[in-house]
Amino acid sequence: VDKDALDTQVKDRKIQEAAEKARNEELANEMKQNDKIMCMLEERQKNDIRNINKAISEFQKNFQKPETRREFDLYDPQALKKDRPARLSDNDPRCTVSGLQKFMGEDLNYDQRMKFQKEQLREWSLQQQRDWKNALADQKFADDLYDKNRIELDQKTMEQQQKEEESRRAVCAATKDFNRTQAAELAERKKLEKYQKMKDDMNEISSLLQGDLLSENPEQAVSSFGRHRVITDRWKGMNRDQLMAIRYFQQQQVVEKQRLKEEERRRDAEWDRQILQAARAQLIIERQQQRQKWERRQTLDSINTELCREQKAKNIYLKEEAYSNFPTAQYYAQFNTTSR
């Protein structure tokens, strides 16, 4: 065994272990230093974050208050306390027609008004009940008084009827005696009148038989104002010549009336023919106007078609020929070349 070599190896090993140990201690010290620095940095970062959050909180507290936000009214905890009623009075200017916050019968004194109306209705109802009771009492008193008066009146009426019945019996008895006497006198008077009438009738019959009326003398009906006039109560009618003259005149009237009807029929036929001819002429004129209107429309359509074709051709020319070349820089360089 080479003891020197082993001692050298041991010594080298110890030196190597000491160096490794020193390096490990140096690394440990460096790691401790780095950990300390990391802790200090983390603490500084926490402090910085705390300061930044504090500054943000101070800034938000001083310059970004919740009440300055646009949507603060949506989550304001004091909204109900700050909120104003829909209307402060019946004449609140905020209660416009389009707001639909005030309708008929929805005024603020609705409860008082309803209470007053209920009291008023109750008073009216009580007053109506009192009036109804008074009316019933008055009606009952009037009915009792009416019944009493009616009973008294019925009694007086019965007494009056009995008196009238007794007086009627007496009058009937007297009337019967008077009628019997009058009947006897009337029978005697009729008998005398009948005899006198028979006598007068006999005289009248003999006078008529001997007079001109039944003998039908035509001269008796001639009036004293002229022979063309007659006395109606004596006239017995026209003779044969007069009747023939009247019938001839009536026939002439019938012929004249037929002639007038025929003329009227021909005149109506002429009017109908003229109206028909006028209607036909009007129809022909209307058809001519429609044909001319159709021809004018066809002409106008052809003109419009030709104009449309020309317009399209012009647009194609402008698009493909006139506007096909774009201006160059030389075109723009010719402007503003002189000074004034």
140-151 residue pLDDT tens: 999 999 899 889
- How many structural domains compose the chain? 2
Task: Please state the rounded mean pLDDT for residues 286-293.
Answer: 93
pLDDT of 212? 62
Of 277, 297, 317, at which residue does a domain stop?
297
Is 290 part of a structural domain of the chain? Answer: yes
Of 35, 67, 99, at which residue does a domain stop?
67
Is 244 part of a structural domain of the chain? Answer: yes
Is 52 part of a structural domain of the chain? Answer: yes
Choose between 212 and 92: higher pLDDT.
Answer: 92
Of 67, 97, 122, at which residue does a domain stop?
67
pTM above 0.75, yes or no: no
Is 142 part of a structural domain of the chain? Answer: no
Residue 249 domain boundaries:
238-297
Is 29 part of a structural domain of the chain? Answer: yes
**Residues 50, 58: contact at Cβ < 8 Å?**
no
Residue range 16-27, pLDDT digits in tens: 889 999 999 999
Is 253 part of a structural domain of the chain? Answer: yes
pLDDT of 75? 83
Is 56 part of a structural domain of the chain? Answer: yes
pLDDT of 217? 67
Is 51 part of a structural domain of the chain? Answer: yes
